[in-house]
Structure 1
Amino acid sequence: MRDQRGITGLETAIVLIAFVVVASVFAFAVLSTGLLSAEKS
C-alpha cells in the first residue's frame, strides 16, 4: 500500500508539473500570437 501511495503521489506530481508546463506554453503561444497580430495591424 505504501508503494502504491508513493507511486500515486509521484504520478500526481508529474501530472501537476505537466499541466503547469502545458499551461505556460499555451499562454506563451497566445501572447506571441497576440503580439504578432498587434504588430501586423
Structure 2
Amino acid sequence: MPRGHQDSFLVEERSRDLLFRSARARSRGNRVIHRSMARWHAGG
C-alpha cells in the first residue's frame, strides 16, 4: 500500500471518529431525532 494512501486513510479515520464523537455528544439531547434518522438510513 502506498504511504500517501495510508496517511490519508488514517486522517479520514480520525476525522470520522471525531465526527461520531461530536454527533453522539450532540444527539444526547436529540435521541428521538437520532433514532428516526437511523431508521431512515436503514430504510434506504
Give your verdict on TM over 0.5. yes
Question: Structure 1 runs of 4+ off > 6 angstroms?
Answer: none
Q: Aligned residue for 2:11?
A: 10
Identity %: 10
How many residues align? The count is 29
* Structure with larger Rg: 1
Aligned partner of residue 13 in structure 1, secondary structure: helix
Q: What's the RMSD between the two structures over aligned residues?
A: 0.8
Q: Could you tell me which runs of 5 or more consecutive residues in structure 2 were left unpaired when the two chains were aligned.
A: 31-44
- Please state how far the C-alpha of 1:22 moved relative to its aligned partner: 0.1
> Superposed, which structure 2 residues align to 1:22-41 within 5 Å?
22-27=23-28, 29-30=29-30
Structure 1 residues without counterparts, runs of 5 or longer: 31-41
